[in-house]
Amino acid sequence: MFTYIIKRVIGAFAMLIVISMVTFGIFYVVPQWAGASPEAMASRYVGRAATPETVHLVAERLGFNDPVIVQYGRFVKGLVAGAEYDYGAGVEQCPAPCFGYSFISGQPVWPDLLDRMPVTFSLAIGAAVLWVVGGVSVGVISALRRGSFFDRLSMGTALAGVSLPIFFTGMISLVVFSYGLGWTPPGGAWTDISVNPAQWAYNLLLPWITLAFLFAATYARLTRAGMLETMGEDYIRTARAKGLHEREVVVRHGLRAALTPILTLFGIDFGLLIGGAILTETTYTLPGLGQFAILAIRNQDMPQVMGVVLVAAMFVVVASLIVDLLYAVVDPRVRLS
């Protein structure tokens, strides 16, 4: 078990290194290959009114003329230990993890990301609880009542949930429940959980349900297919022959074996959502990482875009690592292998 954990941690660390190399290549190396000079890259840090001499000096001080390997080393050092930016008028200290300074606001990117994270975390965690509990429960019941009216209705609803895009269901939900019935607040309402937990949950209720409806549909279909396959195995018949209660047979033997693909999907989905639920946050005007990424792309603020990319990739890798470790808990065959 210890060896299994060490292998997965090393693999996750290696993946983070690869992601940092790819991200650095996209934002620093590819523009140079496309013909962007060091002065052109440095001009974004000094503004349009700077003289050519000033731009050239800033390019030298920021190291855009250095070899690629030296620039990458400086980039990694900034992520791990912070960085110093010499613009000529003074030296700016960027604490770790340093993603650089925004072209628009001139402020470090990392504090801006931290301010947006509570919104995205709140949205992702609440929706994840709803879609896992709802999707898995519906999938199990549909598998046990195969061919019934509930099975056909739930799978038909799941098909609609998979087919309808989030911005469509989000807008319909706003029109019906917020502007029509007035049951939920309109988009853009956000309250920190430390200020008012009840208001926090009330403001996020509709985004949670809308987002969970999309994901729960996939989980219900996947759980149903896994349960139908598992419940026909020989060890299920053996468990029943031993006189075990049907609930124990279903939960302990059937559902536990069918959870492996669900865990894999959950790790990817949850990691991506933590990196920013772009469509949901845009639809409901929530000030999270997704909306932050959209604004950064519109403003062509490369340090902010790079920060979102790295943070989102890190969350996906960490979520995948946690899922790999949970495999050993859910399926003992992983520990044996």
Furthest C-alpha separation in the chain? 85
3-state SS assignment for residue 304:
helix
Low-confidence ranges of the chain (pLDDT < 70): 1, 47-49, 86-90, 188, 276, 328, 330-337
The residue type at 115: D
CA dist., res. 20 & res. 27, Å (int):
11
Per-residue pLDDT, 334: 57
Q: What is the CA radius of gyration of the chain?
A: 25
Per-residue pLDDT, 52: 81
* CA neighbor of 203 nearest in space, from 260, 321, 298, 284: 284
Q: Which residues contact 255 (CB under 8 A, 6 or more apart)?
A: 136, 140, 223, 227, 230
What pLDDT shows up at residue 1? 67
Q: State pLDDT tens for residues 89-132.
A: 567 778 888 888 887 777 888 999 999 989 999 999 999 999 88
* Domains, the chain, ordered by start: 1-98 (no CATH), 110-335 (1.10.3720.10)
> Nearest-CA neighbor of 111 among 99, 123, 120, 121?
99
CA distance 181 to 6: 53
Q: How confident is the model at residue 216, as a pLDDT?
A: 87
The string of DSSP letters for 80-129 reads HH-EEEE-SS-EEEEPSS---B-TTT-SBHHHHHHHHHHHHHHHHHHHHH
Q: Please check whether residue 87 is in contact with residue 58, taking contact to mean a CB–CB distance below 8 angstroms.
A: yes
Q: What is the pLDDT of residue 23?
A: 87
pLDDT, one tens digit per residue, over 281-306 is 888 888 888 888 888 888 888 888 88
- Residues 6 or more apart in contact with residue 145 via CB below 8 angstroms: 151
How far apart, in whole angstroms, are the C-alpha atoms of residue 201 and residue 24?
Answer: 38
Q: What is the dihedral of CA 154, 159, 164, 166, to 10 degrees?
A: 60
Question: What pLDDT is recorded for position 317?
Answer: 86
| Phi, psi (rounded to 5 degrees) for 269 | -65, -45
> What's the confidence (pLDDT) of residue 90?
64
